[in-house]
Structure 1
Amino acid sequence: MIIMNEKIKAAEVALTGLNGEDLGIVPRAEALETAKRLKADLVCTSLFSSPPPCKLVARGSAKQEAQKDKQAERKASQPVKVKEIRLTAQIEEHDYETKFRQSEKLLASGDAVQLVVKLSGSKEGPRAKELTERMLKDLAGVGKRETGIQVSGKQVAVRVNPL
């Protein structure tokens, strides 16, 4: 929450102007008068010092900024989504390019990617691991791997997180 204008209760405030210039320590009433004259809001930036530092901000922009900060905080607190990209060991070059672009787009948008290579025969393991390593190398610009390459009976998997 932001404290602004009449809600500031301190007798004196350390005032900063609209363009960041230091206006010194002034009485609260004078600071409010200056804010009114310049059609601005007086916003308290910290309550932990005496006198509290306050700044003049264009009217209405302080609330907008606080809303934007709250929205960004909410977005950051959401868990990372993991999207699965499925491949096969004998993938053709064009299909590989498509899956690569898909993965790149997902990582760029902030989602993690789980690369899964399905194995149809017992001899495809090394080929699938090679394919996974190639994909990891190509995606190095937008993501880094979180887990090692896991080779199980029917699939090879690795998780890549966005940078």
Structure 2
Amino acid sequence: MIVNEQIKAAEVSLTGVDGEDLGIVATKVALQMAKEQGVDLVCLSLATSPPPCQLVNRTNHKEQLNREKAKQRKAEKGMKVKELRLSAFIEDHDYETKKRQAEKILAAGDAVQLTVRLEKKESQEAKKLVEGLVKELAHCGKQDKGIQVSGKQVVAVLLPK
């Protein structure tokens, strides 16, 4: 980031603190305006002539750049798929706890994989359990595919809305 006296151009295309266009101004005049207002003169790009510069409060500008970089990093990473394991014959309290956990994960922007491990012949109960949980979580997530029933487990994936 090129700031204040580091700007070597004779004149700059200046934008004010609130985003108003101040036109093309001599660099010395722009620096004087920055000192009067108690802000910094920041060069946004060296690709054009005269370079576009803006009067900004440096701490606010750095915080804004950091927030934008963090958003980009999170977008590049993509969403995570977090697994919640249940049993086919789950108690009401445990069911509510798993439901709250799924809501928190979906609200944070990650996907939830609901997995019910099967023992013996529990596939129908497990499928009913997962269907009920998917219906109750419909307000904060949508089902990715159908409910998958394999030999040892029942799986459903919910994506955040």
Q: TM-score range by the shorter chain?
A: 0.7 to 0.9
Residue by residue, what CA displacement relative to the aligned partner does 1:107-128 show, whole Å, maximum 9, x if unpaired? 2223322100122233x32332
Structure 1 residue runs of 4+, over 6 Å off?
none
Match of 1:155 in 2: 153
Shift in Å at residue 79 of structure 1?
5.1
Q: How does 1:99-110 map to 2 (within 5 A)?
A: 99-110=98-109
1:57 Cα deviation (Å)?
0.7
| Structure 1 position 56, deviation (Å) | 0.6
Q: 2-side partners of 1:23 and 1:35: how far apart? A: 13
Report the counterpart of residue 3 of structure 1 in structure 2.
2
Which residue in the other structure is 2:137 paired with?
A: 139
> 1:41·1:60 contact (CA, 8 Å) conserved in 2?
no
Matches of 1:109 and 1:90 in 2, distance apart? Answer: 28
Shift of 1:14: 1.8
Give the percent of matched residue pairs that are identical in Structure 1 and Structure 2: 57
Gap runs ≥5 in structure 2:
none
Distance 2:46 2:158 in 1: 42
**Is the 8 Å Cα contact of residues 43 and 62 (structure 1) preserved in structure 2?**
no
Contact 1:117–1:155 (CA<8 Å) still a contact in 2? yes
The residue number in structure 1 matching 2:12 is 13
Q: How many residues align?
A: 161
Corresponding residue number in structure 2 for 1:83: 82
Q: After alignment, is 4-13 or 149-158 more displaced?
A: 4-13
Q: Deviations over 1:129-159 (max 9, x none)?
A: 2322222222222223334321100110122
Equivalent position SS for 2:124 = helix
Q: What is the root-mean-square deviation in Å for CA atoms of aligned residues? A: 2.4
1:129 aligns with 2:146: no
